[in-house]
Chains A and B, each alone.
Chain A
Amino acid sequence: MNSDWLRKLCAVGGVSGQEDAVRDILLSLLPPEAETQTDGLGNLIVRKKGAARPKNTVMLCAHMDEVGMLVTYISSDGMLKFSAIGMDRKAYLGKRVAVGCQALPGVVGVTPVHLLSDDKQKTIPAAHTLYIDIGAADREAAEALVQPGDAVQLTGDLASFGDGCWKGKALDDRMGCLLLLELLQEDLPYDICVVFTVQEEVGLRGAKAAAFSVDPAYAVVVETTTAADLPDISGAERVCRLGGGAVVSFMDKGTIYPFALYRSAMALAAQHGIPVQTKSLVAGGNDAGAIHQSRGGVPTLAISVPCRYLHSPACVAKEADWAAVAALTRLVWEDFCQQ
């Protein structure tokens, strides 16, 4: 895993609808022989010639966007009201954020616990009461720096820790972007088509349009997925675990994956000694939800890196799991090319 590239990809903001900075980094790191096209929604479609033509067009996909907020209103006291995209509010309450293209520092404020009843000390405040404080003393001062519509990113630098773990904001799904970016650097046996999609977190909107234009016979979505392997959570509710390898799902909230494809991916992993696991709960969803319904239907698989604290400033994933996803994605792609 090229951690320098992952750091570059995670450092920039790409809240849904404002993925430009992520796309620019991907464009700058693609090999010169890759043909690129940015569609009307902002999806980046990349094609590269391989040694042979595949029997089937296979669309590989990872989303560029990340969870965050949009500024909706500036109050008279200089505070920013916002709408959160794809996040549980406890993940950003009391955290540092970065506002607008200039990444102005701000904080999501809270009433001090000292001034709250016992009940309220144990309650996450209602979403409509929350605000971002950038230090502006009043509306005029804030308006000179921010305007409604500006995106707000979570802040959380990529860092390695523990035994082969990485933490940072936007690992969902820059880890997938990195994986496909690295695959595109290789000399490949077949022509390849990779789509870096926009707006996954607001309803798989980029993938819907991209799947229509690419018109693939098969698709593979490379993602991160929730791991809840934490104390006090047991059995099926853990969903999947860090260190357990690539996650191949048979069903999530958006897609029932073709069982034959699911089984063949599991068999490929076993045959090549790639650690693999499935999700023990029907939870979450990804771009497959849009892609599999495209045109006359597209058999699709999702292969994911298990990730703790998804949709937070500090997602945690293991490099060994990413490597398993990379190895399995490559095999599944080649398999789909020849089906």
Chain B
Amino acid sequence: MDRIADILAALCRVEGVSGAEDAAAEAASIFLEQSSAVQTDRLGNVLGFRTGGQTGGPRILLDAHLDQIGLIVTAVTEEGFLRVGACGHMDARVLAAQEVIVHGSQPLLGVISSVPPHLAKGDESACPDIRDLCVDIGFSGERAAALVPLGSRVTLLTDPMRLAARRFTGAALDNRAGVAAILRCLEFLDGEATCPLTVLFSAQEETGGSGAAAAGFSMAPDEAIAVDVSFGQAPGLAPEEAAPLGCGTLIGWSPVLSRDLSLRLEELAQTERIPFRREVMGGRTGTNADRLQVAGTGIPCGLLSIPLRNMHTGIEVLDLADSEATAKLLAAYVRDKSRR
């Protein structure tokens, strides 16, 4: 698990809030360049064309979104506090007194405001709206306005690190975990000839999936597999709401997804003894698969997910074995298609 932990840590240390994925794109490209010719498109998507030997078979696209949720600076007050809006579905409950980095004209340390208890009027359960919060960067209004252009992104600051056993925590595991699984899959395939393989590290999934929609159109692959995170079991969740950490990779089943593709993924997981669970969704999956499926003339899609706790907070937690299982199943699928 050390290798995938290293990849994850490298990817989680850089920022890439939706629409400003540059640093994350650069970090992911360093790994991707080891196996693929890398390009960036007009929306900020990173595209990798695998350069190893090529067999026949379908043109497969593997997608994982690069962006992470965050905040965006909407105003600077006279006293130098930053007003912010959410970029993606940010969890407002965890923001009080959270350390952040403001990606202004230079990276600036900041703290999100927390109203002290004497003003809470005895109601400890009240959670402020994001528009009532502010980021404290310790500068006067004039200095703050000069250092932080409106539109600057803000990320939650938590160093990625290992917990007990095989667990890993960090701030952007949604979806650097998916990016890491694809990069690890490419390492598994090293030296092998495969069918034509395109990697898409997509922009702006958390704000609606426009990156995947555009790249799905321009790449027009024969099929696509999206790799993302899904809900991991934790106290307070019903068994049917979430998958236990450590159960393996989650194979998506949904009207949006190709039944043939999902079935083949399951067969391969069984023959290769890769731990997995079926994850059934009644309609849209809430991932890039929803956009890829209807891109261009339509793309049959599969979906692999990694169970994740505390999604959309600074303390997301996953089990590295699930990441590894996801990477293995992706590699098994590519090999399978390359043999035909």
Q: Which residues of A contact B (CB under 8 A)?
A: 75, 77, 79, 88-91, 93-96, 104-115, 121-126, 129, 131, 133-137, 141-142, 145, 156, 159, 161-165, 167, 226, 228-233, 237, 239, 281, 283-284, 308-314, 316, 318
Contact = CB atoms under 8 A, between A and B. Distances in A.
A159 B109 contact: yes
Contacts of B126: 122-124
Task: Indicate the size class of the contact surface on chain B.
Answer: 35 or more
Contact of A230 (B81, B143, B314): B81
A259 B88 CA distance: 53
B237 A111 contact: yes
A95 B163 contact: no
16 contacts: A90-B96, A93-B94, A104-B164, A105-B169, A114-B312, A121-B91, A122-B93, A122-B129, A133-B163, A135-B166, A136-B164, A142-B164, A161-B137, A162-B137, A163-B139, A231-B113
Given A115-B241, A163-B143, 4 more contacts: A121-B93, A137-B165, A313-B99, A314-B99
B120 interface: yes
Contact of B118 (A111, A134, A281): A281
Interface of B is mostly: loop
Contacts of B83: 231
Residue picked from B93, B115, B165, most chain A C-beta under 10 Å: B93
Interface of B: 77, 79, 81, 83, 89, 91-94, 96-99, 108-111, 113-120, 124-127, 129, 132, 134, 136-140, 143, 158, 161-167, 169, 231, 234-237, 241-242, 245-246, 286, 309-315, 317
A231 B128 CA distance: 13
A131 B110 CA distance: 27
Nearest to A111: B236
A169 to B, nearest CB: 10
Given A88-B117, A122-B127, A167-B109, A96 B96 contact: no
Given A108-B315, A111-B237, A95 B115 contact: no
A94 B314 contact: yes
Closest 3 CB pairs of A and B: A162-B138, A94-B94, A135-B163
Contacts of A111: 234, 236-237
B288 to A, nearest CB: 16
Contact of A109 (B124, B231, B246, B317): B317
A309 B113 contact: yes
A142 B127 CA distance: 31
A91 B94 contact: no
B108 to A, nearest CB: 7
A226 B118 contact: yes
A94 B87 CA distance: 18
Given A136-B164, A141-B165, A312-B97, A228 B317 contact: no
Nearest to A81: B235
B235 A90 contact: no
